[in-house]
């Protein structure tokens, strides 16, 4: 379309603004990948530190590989299947086509969550059925042994990706087919084509732009997807998005910025090359037109070469798939599930080198998420690291296996204070991992007084400045403590009163937000004055903002213990116990303590940490910091540990929590 040149400038400005809108956040991401500090809002100087770290971060590297592999395979499968399906649909009578298209559109109209959950349910139902079937087959004959336990993994995730990709391909190809002149096919056949030839020579070229855009959309959807993968990948496979999500539980490491930057730049370079090639080809074509209008077909050798290259690529993909599948099967392994950034990852490597056991390390967002994952039967974790109250619930519901403490000699190093706690009174199921306290973090430059009470979390004086924690147990605990009740109360009136306190504060505009992970960025960047969070995380924040202070309020608080336990369904119990023993050792605890800033339950490690710190950083550990990390008796005696609540109280928590958001 030709247009008057006067409009051009205005058009370009509009488009420029849209591009600015699309790219501003990305440039910020890229810039902060070169930040020498860990924060994503405070610039501390240029450094390539995070790129260096990235290379050694196996978790991220594996997830990048998984993401690319699943996206590529799903795109290829979905594009082929979707194109054929679209052609099939558009050759049908309208009524039938409309009915099928309605079904086809379901995955797109559904929330990703719904697609994910319903697929997960389907797989689990199928696996249960298969388990029974395989057991029956194995019992009546002994020639072949079928595996009885299938679990979610790469395969199920791939199916899910294909599932949500196909509709996008159909949606892209459909309009092209609709616009295509149907008579073209008849014409081709009249001219002597078989219908197969007509298909390849007429239909496909006509709808090619649709196929290409469909494939591109499918690939980007796959790369961008998080929710569906999350529900269908199981415990062993993790895409980049899932890794990021696990991290956002605590903090997005700038390593993620670095990996995104690298991916982005790679894609950019690739596309630029393609573009330059295409436009130079076009120029050549145009030049050719001036002389003789002949477009040279690519020569035979080029075509053969292309096919060989494509074949080699496909073969390489297949081989990697098989090899990685084999590699995973041949070694002893253990599936560990914990929180994001809750371990010094060198420990994983060290454990693998020492024992030859491969560790599949997964992270999950919260205790509740962990519970749901296990409850839905989609996960095959061996070792999990839940918090006290969740452990009690898991024990009560008979989901944990008793440990053989003969295989865990390092259990002796655990301080008696952390043994036989109320969640595991006889200590048959758990080995403590770390502990800490819940408290109030505040910015001393933004608050005039010294905060020492939970009142601060509900005070309209601080409207718009307070960050409430985004989980029902901790949030209601703050209100309960403020009202002078126990955090383990089962009294409905008390709980409703606490809920009212929260709701009043929320309606008065006290809360800037309900957050978990964002608390780091908000507090470090002085975007909020007051927040409630965990002591260890406060110490991480302190590294980036010295104005922050932490207090365990005078009304008391929660002190929590996260402990390692083994699930009843675990397939690698021995390896799991080896892992637990390794993590419980003094060296591991020291390394972990230094990395995550949470206190260790290992008395040797706890005692040695100040010396360890001094040796490592050549400066003394601030006593105040150590006191926050591992508070003394004076603080702990006003703290309570969470107990598991009866079913109806849990239900009440759920209902109140849902209503708070309405």
Partner 1 sequence: MKNKLSRFAVPYVVWMAIFVVAPIVIMVIYAFTSQNGGFSFENFVKMGDYAEVFLRSFEMAIIATVICLLIGYPVSYLMSREGPGFQRTGMVLIMLPMWMNFLLRTYSWITILDNNGLLNQLFQKIGLIALYNNITGSDVTYFHMMNTPGAVVLGMVYNYLPFMILPIYSVIIKLDHSLLEAARDLGANSVTVFRKVILPLSLPGVLSGITMVFVPSVSTFAISQMLGGGTDLLLGDLIERQFLGGAYNPQLGAAISLVMMIIVVVCMIVMNRFGEGEEQAVMM
Q: Would you say 104 or 151 has its CB closer to partner 1?
A: 104
Considering only residues 128, 179, 349, 500, which one is a binding residue for partner 1 as defined by CB under 8 A? Answer: 179
> Contact between 262 and partner 1 (CB under 8 A)?
no
Considering only residues 138, 355, 366, 486, which one is a binding residue for partner 1 as defined by CB under 8 A? Answer: 366
Q: Quote the CA–CA distance of 570 and 567 in Å, as a whole number.
A: 5
Q: CB-side exposure of 526: number of CA atoms within 13 Å?
A: 9
Identify which of 82, 158, 148 has the alpha carbon closest to the alpha carbon of residue 119: 158
> Contact between 111 and partner 1 (CB under 8 A)?
yes
Enumerate residues 6+ apart whose C-beta is below 8 A from 48. 34
Q: Would you say 24 or 313 has its CB closer to partner 1?
A: 24
Considering only residues 20, 48, 55, 106, which one is a binding residue for partner 1 as defined by CB under 8 A? Answer: 106
Segment interacting with partner 1, rule: CB under 8 A, options 106-114, 291-299, 334-342, 431-439: 106-114
Closest distance of CB 461 from partner 1, Å: 16
- 413-425 as b/e, with b when 16 or more CB fall inside 10 Å? bbbeebbebebbe
Closest distance of CB 88 from partner 1, Å: 3
Segment interacting with partner 1, rule: CB under 8 A, options 133-141, 236-244, 428-436, 496-504: 236-244
> Contact between 444 and partner 1 (CB under 8 A)?
no
Segment interacting with partner 1, rule: CB under 8 A, options 129-137, 212-220, 557-565, 567-575: 212-220
DSSP 488: T
- The β-bridge partners of 438 are 534
3-class SS at 602?
strand
Closest distance of CB 506 from partner 1, Å: 7
Segment interacting with partner 1, rule: CB under 8 A, options 164-172, 305-313, 401-409, 447-455: 164-172
Q: Quote the CA–CA distance of 23 and 646 in Å, as a whole number.
A: 50
Site string for partner 1, 273-312 (x = CB under 8 A): --x--xx--x------------------------------
- 128-142 as b/e, with b when 16 or more CB fall inside 10 Å? eebeeebeeeeeeee
> Contact between 1 and partner 1 (CB under 8 A)?
yes
Enumerate residues 6+ apart whose C-beta is below 8 A from 532. 438, 439, 440, 441, 457, 467, 468, 469, 474, 478
Query: Within 16-45, which residues bind partner 1 (CB under 8 A)?
Result: 18-19, 21-26, 28-29, 32, 40-41
Considering only residues 51, 65, 130, 199, which one is a binding residue for partner 1 as defined by CB under 8 A? Answer: 199
Tokens 């290829």, residue located: 76
Q: Count Cβ atoms within 10 A of the Cβ of residue 192 and give its class: 0-12 exposed, 13-18 middle, 19 or more buried.
A: exposed
> Contact between 376 and partner 1 (CB under 8 A)?
yes
DSSP 451: P
Closest distance of CB 518 from partner 1, Å: 7
Closest distance of CB 283 from partner 1, Å: 10
Considering only residues 76, 121, 321, 636, which one is a binding residue for partner 1 as defined by CB under 8 A? Answer: 121
Q: Would you say 32 or 442 has its CB closer to partner 1?
A: 32
> Contact between 76 and partner 1 (CB under 8 A)?
no
Pairing mode of beta strands 548-551, 430-443: antiparallel
Cα-trace Rg, the chain: 29
Query: Within 507-526, which residues bind partner 1 (CB under 8 A)?
Result: 511-515, 518, 521-522, 525-526
Identify which of 393, 364, 392, 398 has the alpha carbon closest to the alpha carbon of residue 378: 364
Query: Within 632-661, which residues bind partner 1 (CB under 8 A)?
Result: 651, 653-655, 657-659, 661
> What would you measure as the largest C-alpha separation in the chain, in angstroms?
94
Considering only residues 109, 146, 302, 309, which one is a binding residue for partner 1 as defined by CB under 8 A? Answer: 109
């Amino acid at each position: 379309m030709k247009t008057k040149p006067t409009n051009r400038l205005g058009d370009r400005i509009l488009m420029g603004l849209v591009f600015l809108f699309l790219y501003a956040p990305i440039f910020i991401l890229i810039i902060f990948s070169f930040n020498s500090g860990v924060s994503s809002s405070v610039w501390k100087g240029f450094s390539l530190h995070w790129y260096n770290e990235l290379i050694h971060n196996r978790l991220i590297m594996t997830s990048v590989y998984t993401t690319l592999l699943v996206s590529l395979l799903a795109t290829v499968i979905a594009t082929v299947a979707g194109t054929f399906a679209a052609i099939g649909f558009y050759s049908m009578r309208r009524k039938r086509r409309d009915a099928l298209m309605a079904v086809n559109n379901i995955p797109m109209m559904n929330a990703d969550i719904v697609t994910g959950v319903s697929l997960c349910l389907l797989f689990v139902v199928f696996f249960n059925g298969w388990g029974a079937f395989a057991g029956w087959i194995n019992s009546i004959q002994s020639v072949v042994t079928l595996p009885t336990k299938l679990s979610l993994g790469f395969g199920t995730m791939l199916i899910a990706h294909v599932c949500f990709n196909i509709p996008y391909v159909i949606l892209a190809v459909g309009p092209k087919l609709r616009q295509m002149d149907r008579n073209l096919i008849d014409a081709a056949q009249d001219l002597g084509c078989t219908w197969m030839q007509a298909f390849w020579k007429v239909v496909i070229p006509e709808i090619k732009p649709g196929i290409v855009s469909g494939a591109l959309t499918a690939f980007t959807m796959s790369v961008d997807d998080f929710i569906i993968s999350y529900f269908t990948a199981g415990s062993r496979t993790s895409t980049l998005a899932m890794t990021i999500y696990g991290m956002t539980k605590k903090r997005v490491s700038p390593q993620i910025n670095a990996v995104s930057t690298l991916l982005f730049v790679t894609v950019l370079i690739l596309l630029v090359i393609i573009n330059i090639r295409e436009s130079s080809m076009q120029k050549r074509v145009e030049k050719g037109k001036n002389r003789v209008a002949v477009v040279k077909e690519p020569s035979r050798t080029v075509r053969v070469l292309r096919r060989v290259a494509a074949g080699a690529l496909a073969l390489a993909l297949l081989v990697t798939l098989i090899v990685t599948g084999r590699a995973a099967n041949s070694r002893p392994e253990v599936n560990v599930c914990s929180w994001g950034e809750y371990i010094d990852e060198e420990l994983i490597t060290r454990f693998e080198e020492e024992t030859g056991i491969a560790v599949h390390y997964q992270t999950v967002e919260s205790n509740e998420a962990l519970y749901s994952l296990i409850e839905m039967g989609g996960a095959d974790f061996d070792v999990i690291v839940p918090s006290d109250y969740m452990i009690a619930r898991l024990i009560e519901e008979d989901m944990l296996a008793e440990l053989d403490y003969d295989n865990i000699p390092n259990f002796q190093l655990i301080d008696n204070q952390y043994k036989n706690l109320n969640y595991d009174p006889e200590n048959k199921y758990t080995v403590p991992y770390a502990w800490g306290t819940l408290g109030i973090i505040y910015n001393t430059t933004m608050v005039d007084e010294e905060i020492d009470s939970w009142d601060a979390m509900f005070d309209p004086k601080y409207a718009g400045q307070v960050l409430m924690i985004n989980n029902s147990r901790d949030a209601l605990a703050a209100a309960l403590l403020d009202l002078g009740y126990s955090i383990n109360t089962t009294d409905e009136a008390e709980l409703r009163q606490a809920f009212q306190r929260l709701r009043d504060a929320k309606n008065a505009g006290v809360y800037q937000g309900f957050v978990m992970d964002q608390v780091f960025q908000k507090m470090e960047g002085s975007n909020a004055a007051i927040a409630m969070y965990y002591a260890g995380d406060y110490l991480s924040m302190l590294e980036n903002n010295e104005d922050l202070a932490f207090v365990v309020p005078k009304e008391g608080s929660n002190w929590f213990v996260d402990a390692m336990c083994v699930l009843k369904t675990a397939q690698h119990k021995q390896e799991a116990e080896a892992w637990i023993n390794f993590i419980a050792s003094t060296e591991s605890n020291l390394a972990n303590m230094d990395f995550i800033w949470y206190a260790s339950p290992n008395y040797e490690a706890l005692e040695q940490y100040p010396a360890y710190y001094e040796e490592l950083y050549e400066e003394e550990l601030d006593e105040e910091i150590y006191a926050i990390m591992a508070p003394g008796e004076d603080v702990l005696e006003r703290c309570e540990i969470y107990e598991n609540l009866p079913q109806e109280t849990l239900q009440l928590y759920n209902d109140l929590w849902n209503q708070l958001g309405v």
